[in-house]
Structure 1
């Protein structure tokens, strides 16, 4: 994956959130990973061979030549890395524009990206990425959306955000923009993943939208800030959108669409693929309707999406310190949460649920029926229940 050789101008101070990473490690990771011709896979091979970015940069040409895919041209670039990447200037640009650099090994790095075999070694991030963002759904679709598509993207993103789910998309025109705007209008969180650098927002009319997203979520990129978007960058970007989300929802996609690439990548890494059907006469919906024929889950409502995601293998902790294992929990009212909290994963007597919740028996019995319908618990017998 090539990267631009242009440099951005500024100096080398870490932002407060970057101070937790060793400055030398961050500096060397930035210098190595931003070299033209080094993508995540090549970088991983180099690190497996030499150990640290500093060791890679210090390796001899003969040693570098032992790594698969590293030829004379790339060896020369690595040996003269400081001529190609001015890491100090990039770091200073980031400080000036409130952009954090998140190392893969750091706690601030999105945990879900580690499922990728070619996870980026660092991310440029403007805004904040929170632990609750692990509960995320990607909404993607065509840039040439119809009014039907943009309305549905806005509606579903709004509902997901209201339910506490982070909406991930790519800041493109059409479906992406509608999804981001729907989440923002709900007062929720949304993350935009760019196919270029943070200093090269594309399309340019979305600079204001990017600012709004950074204020209530994050705008992220694996590319250096001055990298101008090019065609090959967007499929790379799409793998991050898919990996950062529990499921990818496609709304309007013609036969050949980047959204279909995102859906395929999501399926390859074990994420759910969801699709909102469109009119059979609409060219914009041919690809998404075909996804449904091929086995994607048909969804129409936010509840459909939450049900499709189902229980999460690794729970997340919400802002109010609640452990959430199933997205459907986010739509429970206080009484329903009270009953659910009284039910254990092991077989739990209903009498114990009544005693632990402090509620009347008829309230508990009615609520158990609701929780069972939402597939959060199961009845083991007439007098026992357990969490799913």
Structure 2
């Protein structure tokens, strides 16, 4: 028997958290997908899985079998607690959920946000690199001056420099954490940069607030960073490194990748990763900005945020 209920936005958010918490047998993005397909996390919990295929109905049944009233209460309390310290929750059911992420096939069920994501942030370019801080900083500055939002992790000195460069150019940045908003030491030496991002743009975490950084969360951080962006610029990176892995992941989602000419010339993995297309070599930051603006505006949709 399917229950009927009056749905409040806060209750839906709590239900998304509760369903995500019980996700064990499938990746989190599978849960996000079926919640979005159903249009209501509360309805899934209540047994209404109309419109889902057999596999998704089985996953939904497994999830709701583990959700308790206490889980929903704890989720509501967590939302209230985080809101009290200036952190809001955005779920896959909310109108403010980033459309660039929704487009990717690995989107997250929820994001915690300090600051504010704006509609124009759909014109975001992720800047990802390993060691070439000078190139990353130049790219961030040029992209911000061109009116584009810059997305980047906030884990390394290079990442911090990217955010500082974009903010110094008067632009917006989306900073993605490798752990939870309330986890000790998640900001490391970059607490001041994080504060600036939260005040002037948005600091984002896809993790439970007390999650400590691990190798697994770092991989997910890159997934979210690139998910928030319409396109990605890879500044540098060796064969098999984080930039290489990030490039392959981005291409699988159907998004475009820009790389500097030097990276393309020096590393065979770039051509190998892009043998089916999806990678554009740019000559310099001016070329990057022009091509990124053209691509982002061509792909832009008013419903992306």
What is the TM-score normalised by the length of structure 2?
Answer: 0.79
Q: Paired residue for 2:164, among 181, 184, 200?
A: 181
Deviation at 1:164, TM superposition (A): 0.9
> Structure 1: how far apart are the matches of 2:140 and 2:161?
8
User: Is residue 2:298 matched to residue 1:313?
Assistant: yes
C-alpha contact 1:274 1:297 (8 A) present in aligned 2: yes
Which residue of the partner structure matches residue 75 of structure 2? 87
Deviation per residue, 1:304-359 (Å, 9 max, x gap): 11343324335478xxxxxxxxxxxxxxxxxxxxxxxxxxxxxxxxxxxxxxxxxx
Which residue of the partner structure matches residue 375 of structure 1? none
Count of residues paired in the alignment: 281
Deviation at 1:229, TM superposition (A): 2.0
Q: Which runs of 5+ in 2 are unaligned?
A: 1-7, 49-53
Deviation per residue, 1:92-141 (Å, 9 max, x gap): 22112211111323332212111023322322111111111111111111
Deviation per residue, 1:41-97 (Å, 9 max, x gap): 03534675x76322333449xxx998445797x66533x362598213311221122
C-alpha contact 2:19 2:31 (8 A) present in aligned 1: no
Q: Paired residue for 2:103, among 96, 107, 115?
A: 115
Which residue of the partner structure matches residue 337 of structure 1? none
> Structure 1: how far apart are the matches of 2:71 and 2:122?
38
C-alpha contact 2:235 2:263 (8 A) present in aligned 1: no
Q: 1:277 to 1:85 in 2, by over 3 A?
A: farther
2:298 counterpart SS class: coil
> Structure 1: how far apart are the matches of 2:99 and 2:35?
22
> Structure 2: how far apart are the matches of 1:177 and 1:36?
33
C-alpha contact 1:191 1:219 (8 A) present in aligned 2: yes
Which residue of the partner structure matches residue 286 of structure 2? 303
User: Is residue 2:203 matched to residue 1:219?
Assistant: yes
C-alpha contact 1:138 1:167 (8 A) present in aligned 2: yes
C-alpha contact 2:104 2:253 (8 A) present in aligned 1: yes
Q: 1:169 to 1:271 in 2, by over 3 A?
A: same
Deviation at 1:302, TM superposition (A): 2.5
C-alpha contact 2:36 2:93 (8 A) present in aligned 1: no
Write 1 or 2 for the structure with the bigger share of helix. 2
> Structure 1: how far apart are the matches of 2:56 and 2:171?
49
C-alpha contact 2:175 2:203 (8 A) present in aligned 1: yes
> Structure 2: how far apart are the matches of 1:220 and 1:193?
5
Q: Paired residue for 2:15, among 28, 31, 38?
A: 28
Q: Following superposition, which runs of at least 4 residues in structure 1 exceed 6 angstroms of deviation?
A: none
Q: Paired residue for 2:180, among 191, 194, 197?
A: 197
User: Is residue 2:142 matched to residue 1:159?
Assistant: yes
Which residue of the partner structure matches residue 290 of structure 1? 269
Which residue of the partner structure matches residue 3 of structure 2? none
> Structure 2: how far apart are the matches of 1:53 and 1:206?
36
Q: 1:268 to 1:293 in 2, by over 3 A?
A: closer
Q: Paired residue for 1:250, among 200, 211, 234?
A: 234
C-alpha contact 2:150 2:174 (8 A) present in aligned 1: yes
Q: 1:59 to 1:69 in 2, by over 3 A?
A: closer
> Structure 1: how far apart are the matches of 2:101 and 2:273?
26
1:232 counterpart SS class: helix
Q: 1:204 to 1:286 in 2, by over 3 A?
A: farther
> Structure 1: how far apart are the matches of 2:95 and 2:280?
33
> Structure 2: how far apart are the matches of 1:41 and 1:67?
12
Q: 1:267 to 1:24 in 2, by over 3 A?
A: same
C-alpha contact 2:129 2:243 (8 A) present in aligned 1: yes
Which residue of the partner structure matches residue 66 of structure 2? 77
C-alpha contact 1:31 1:85 (8 A) present in aligned 2: no
Q: Paired residue for 1:41, among 13, 30, 43?
A: 30
1:242 counterpart SS class: helix
| Greater C-alpha Rg | 1
